[in-house]
Structure 1
């Protein structure tokens, strides 16, 4: 089979009347049914077609897809930074290895840098793809499965809060009213958290149907403190599984659980472990240092079932990114940042003082040399410069510089992104 050279394929923003073709290529790339029902396609068209959608077209047919949208990522210390969130990335199997993703990514990142975005973000379906574009894994996610009978609560289950707080079941409409403000409180204090727009709340509560499969409404619960303030929220579904001896063997799967106080976190996990007929609780995506296992009388009842990279970041403006975050101590570091794409490379002096940090171009000798993708690993404080140096990904130009980097950049609690996008 003869293939056209890459530049015979047109890579460009899609026109509105090309949305159905773009969506078909997207579904094909994700191994889904290529054609959506007309009503679902129309919902997606109304909500997505006016956004930043790129396509690659070969003889008029869409063969690769790419979408980005505005987002904010919370830096260490709570400052939100402007991000170019990337999703819907596919290349049709017949058109792999032709540089289509490289062209779409290059176009999008250049535009994001010109807009003034500080970072680009994505959730990687496959690990090897995005490092070559300057992305690095910046957060990790874990999932636990709790064996409720072994958790150590006893035959009566976990005790409910005695602090005057309460757990109430609510409806989807309540979630759309109460959730956005609670999420704003969460993301202001959680490095790695990302913003959610109104469409997110509509899709994730069934008000807008984005998918062809039947919507299954979850159960929703909120934790209210003694003074009535909403401090936590959970969405979960239960299956209907019974053993041969008519024993309940049901699993509660958490779709999302967010809290802004320790009391709310304890109360919601205890609530999930107290539901009649539920013998397993799947935690959903959680922070890698989540306190969940230690909330149980027997932490071994929480078995780690998933551990993987999650949010990937690509720095587009090193100076603004480093100045946006906070640091645990004063100090200075000269970073030689390599960037093959020419978007954010250079030599920078990071100077952290008690009244804040500055990051400026410098001609001073470098303390550390690293790729922009590895600086992305370090930016939220989850990775260790010393570990990267052992791997040869960070080169120490001045003795002791990796220890200085870890003292400045690492955080006491690990970053976490609760969202898929």
Structure 2
């Protein structure tokens, strides 16, 4: 059986989309329309397919992205998405071949990291990816939450206003960039993202229902927050049981975040709110007088990272203390392995290859999990996934790498 892995041509796109639908168990209707709607957003040179006798049986795509690291710097990333292998062609190494090709090209381009959202947990560790951020969704019983139902607006001089998609496309990008500048784990959103998520571009696979958009403006008129949500219209026995579902909440200040949640939880007839995927240490549920009104309905790994350039990655982020570590890093793809000395301080960091004895020995997967400050080297050492070659090295790694607030990626891709 002849299996050909290559970048796709424009004429392959419909067949490639059909394979994506097959891999994600989606109905096959509307493949041609989906291909046409997505054509402008797909770079064929970064889109791979596995073909068997001309039929696409595996898919893989990447695109350029920027990832905010600890301290607010943005590093170039290779974002991986649309990864599938058809059930007829599993266990033949197709994903491994496509991944190896993509990651090698990403390193050649100078990308510092590679990112993805993992549909399945066990797959990506073998390629050096580690879960670097986690996310939680809450379901809030509005009546139990204890907020003042007579709330009529922020008490800090700010205001909330309903707007439409045109306003969001105009004001949202700058607001999101402000959030991204301070939120490690966040990624950039291009113009196409804003057009799709305001209904200006419509994909057949995601039927559009016009949501509500709300802006929070501070006392000086600056747009500091954006909330997007949808509602249902459910009543029983002349009593409202309406639910609101948040699809996006972007806030550049805590005041904006508090005001937008308070606004949503004070709308008449809404008795239940389900959030989007939030940071696991989000202000919810503690901004509620009764935090038990917010029940966690999902908590899981979210953004996965693998480092493609260890020195550049470690030099890009900031550190709260002064210290030095020698890291012996193993890489299953052989792209970024080596022994590196990290000399870090609040004033900056250098990371260089070294022949000195290692303080910690770890895989690229573990380094990816540690990179944004969410995971603990001490915990990974206890699990046997990091080897402490010098007593106290894992604790020092935690001192240098961990962050007061947890990283968060607001987006899926």
Task: Classify the TM-score, shorter chain.
Answer: over 0.9
In the alignment, does 2:83 pair up with 1:82? no
Aligned-pair CA distance for 1:39 = 3.8
**Paired position in structure 1 for 2:263:** 271
Residue 412 of structure 2 corresponds to 420
Which residue of 290, 300, 304 maps to 2:296? 304
Is the 1:124–1:310 Cα contact (8 Å) retained in structure 2? yes
SS at match of 2:220: coil
Give the alignment's TM-score, normalised by structure 1: 0.96
Q: Which residue pairs with 1:292 in the alignment?
A: 284
Equivalences for residues 215-254 of structure 1 within 5 A: 215-243=208-236, 245-254=237-246
1:13 aligned residue:
7
Shift of 1:79: 0.4
The equivalences for 1:144-183 within 5 A come to 144-154=138-148, 156-158=149-151, 160-183=153-176
> Partner of 1:319: helix, strand, or coil?
helix
Aligned runs of 1:108-147 on 2, under 5 Å?
108-147=102-141
Deviation at 1:283, TM superposition (A): 1.4
C-alpha separation in 1, matches of 2:346 and 2:192? 40
Cα distance 1:51–1:171, how it changes in 2: closer, same or farther (>3 A)? Answer: farther
Residue 348 (1) aligns with residue 340 (2): yes
Tell me by how many angstroms 1:213 deviates: 4.7
Structure 1, unaligned runs of 5 or more: none
Deviation at 1:241, TM superposition (A): 1.4
TM alignment of 1:326-405, pairs within 5 A: 326-405=318-397
Shift of 1:164: 1.2
- Mapped to 1, the partners of 2:35 and 2:378 lie a distance apart of 49
Query: What's the counterpart of residue 178 of structure 2?
Result: 185
Other structure's SS at 1:293 match: coil
- Deviation of the 1:297 alpha carbon: 1.1
**Can you list the C-alpha shifts for 1:156-186, whole angstroms capped at 9, x where unaligned?**
3445211110000000000000000000000
Indicate the RMSD between aligned Cα atoms, in angstroms. Answer: 1.1
1:280 aligns with 2:280: no
Q: Is the 8 A contact 2:147 2:266 kept in 1?
A: no
**What's the counterpart of residue 23 of structure 2?**
29
Relative to structure 1, is the Cα distance of residues 60 and 236 closer, same or farther in structure 2, using a 3 angstrom cutoff? same
Runs of 5+ consecutive residues of structure 2 not aligned to the other structure: none
Tell me if the contact between 2:117 and 2:304 (Cα under 8 Å) persists in the aligned partners. yes
SS in 2 for 1:70: strand
The CA deviation at 1:37 is: 5.4
Q: Distance in 2 between matches of 1:212 and 1:358?
A: 46
Q: Which residue number in structure 2 is paired with residue 60 of structure 1?
A: 54
* TM-score (normalizing by structure 2): 0.98
Match of 1:313 in 2: 305
State yes or no: 1:207 paired with 2:200. yes
- Aligned mates of 2:358, 2:396 — CA distance in 1: 13
Question: How far off is 1:214 after superposition?
Answer: 2.9
Deviates more, 1:351-360 or 1:38-47: 38-47
Distance in 2, matches of 1:101 and 1:39, equals 27
What is the CA-CA distance between 1:35 and the residue it aligns to? 4.1
Change (3 A) 1:49 1:81: closer
SS at match of 1:125: coil
Secondary structure in 1 matching 2:239: coil
